[in-house]
Amino acid sequence: MNDVYYYLINYKEIHPLRFWIILVGITLLFIAIIFILYKNFLPLITKILNIQKKETIVTSKKNRKTPNVKKEKRSILKDSRFLISVILIQFLIIASVIFYNYAKSTTKRPENLAISNSEYLFGIDISHYQSKINWSELRTSHHPIEYIFIRATMGQNGEDIQFDRNWENAKKHNYLRGAYHYYRPNENSTQQFENFKSVVKLEEGDFIPILDIEKDSKFGRDNLRKGVLNWLQLAEKEYGRKPMIYTGLTFYKHVLKGHVDDYPLWIAAYSGKHRLKNVDWKFHQFTEQTKIKGIITTVDGNDFIGDITELNKMKISNSTPTTN
C-alpha cells in the first residue's frame, strides 16, 4: 500500500491535469451511484418488504387495493434517468482521457534533434514513467546519447518496476549507465541506502551512485540535511566514490547549498540552451521534452559539462574499493 500511495503522489506531480480529471470523474461516479441507491432502490426494497409483510398478516382483506410495485419500479427508474445519464457521461469522460493518452503515447513522433545539439555531452534519465522502452529502436536514435541515468529505488522499500529491465538493457546496448535513488525526506536515511544497496549492483564501468533529493522534510531542514549526508556517506563507504546529487536549482540554492559542496551536482533547471550560472554543476537537466525513438513519452535531456575523458572518470573502476 505504501508503494501505491507514492505511485499516486508521483503521478499527480507528473500528470496533474490527468490526475484531477480522473479523480473528479471517479468521485462523481461514486456519489451518483450512492445517491441512486439511497434515494430510489433502498425505498423500493423497503416498500416491497412492507407489502409482503402486510399481505401475510392481512389475508382476509381481499378487497384492499395494494400498491402496484411494477408501476413504482418504472416510476423510480424514470426518475433515475438523469442520474444514470450523469454516470454515463462521467464514464465517457474518463474513458476518453485514457484513450487519448494511450493513442498519444503509441503514435510515433519525429525526434527533436535540435534539442541535443550542443558542445556538451548529451544523455537522458528514465524511470517507469517512460513505460516499457524499445531498446533496439532507442539504439537507432539520432540523438547523441552518451549516458543514461535510471531510477532504481525510492525511499525505504520502493523499487522502480522497470529498473531491472532498463538496467540490463542499458548495458546490453552499450550505454554508460547510472542508477539513482529517489530520497523520501520523511523516511529513515540508513534504511533508504540499504534499499538502494540491495537492489543496485554497480559493476566496473558503471556510473557512480546518484541521490535524487527534491523535497523538504516535515522534520525540518537540519534533519533533512543530516539524513542526506548520512546516505551520501554510506554510499561513499560502500562504493569508494563520492556519489552525485540530483536536485532542482531552487531547492539547491535554498536548502542544500553550503552543505553538500564536496559532491558533484546534477541540477535540474529547464532553461533550454541558457546555461546555469553561479552553480558548480557537472550535469544540467535542461529540458523534459526530448522526443526519442523507442520511448513513448518525452524524456528529460541532460548535458555534461566536460569531455568524454572527464565523463569516464566518473565511472566505477576495479581500483574502487567496494564491499559485498
pLDDT in tens, 255-287: 999 999 899 999 999 877 677 888 899 999 999
CA-to-CA separations, 94 to 27, 33, 54, in angstroms, rounded: 11, 16, 46
Supply the pLDDT for residue 10: 55
CA-to-CA separations, 185 to 69, 77, 155, 213, in angstroms, rounded: 61, 52, 8, 8
pLDDT in tens, 293-305: 999 899 999 999 9
Instruction: Give percent of the chain above pLDDT 70.
Output: 70
Crossing angle between the packed helical segments 69-79 and 81-106, to the nearest 10 degrees:
50
Pick the range with the lowest mean pLDDT from 5-14, 96-105, 208-217, 222-231: 5-14
Supply the pLDDT for residue 92: 75
Return the exposure string of 147-176: e unless at least 16 CB atoms fall within 10 Å of the residue's CB, then b.
Answer: bbbbbbbbbbbbbbebbeebbebbeeeebb
Q: Which residues lie closer than 8 Å to 41 by C-beta, 6 or more apart?
A: 76
Q: Where are the domains of the chain?
A: 2-106, 113-312
Rounded distance between C-alpha atoms, residue 49 and residue 43, angstroms: 10
Supply the pLDDT for residue 56: 57
Contact 131, 105 (CB under 8 A): yes
pLDDT in tens, 147-191: 999 999 999 999 999 999 999 999 999 999 999 999 999 999 999
How much is the pTM? 0.70
Pick the CATH number of 113-312 from 3.20.20.80, 3.30.70.260, 3.30.420.10, 3.40.630.10: 3.20.20.80
pLDDT in tens, 47-80: 666 655 555 555 555 555 555 555 555 555 555 6
DSSP string, 82-124: HHHHHHHHHHHHHHHHHHHHHHHHHS-----GGGG-SSSEEEE
Residue 16 has pLDDT above 70, yes or no: no
Extract the C-alpha cell encoding 209: 551512485
**Beta partners for 125?**
149, 300
Supply the pLDDT for residue 88: 73
Q: Which of the pair, 85 or 212, is modelled with greater confidence?
A: 212
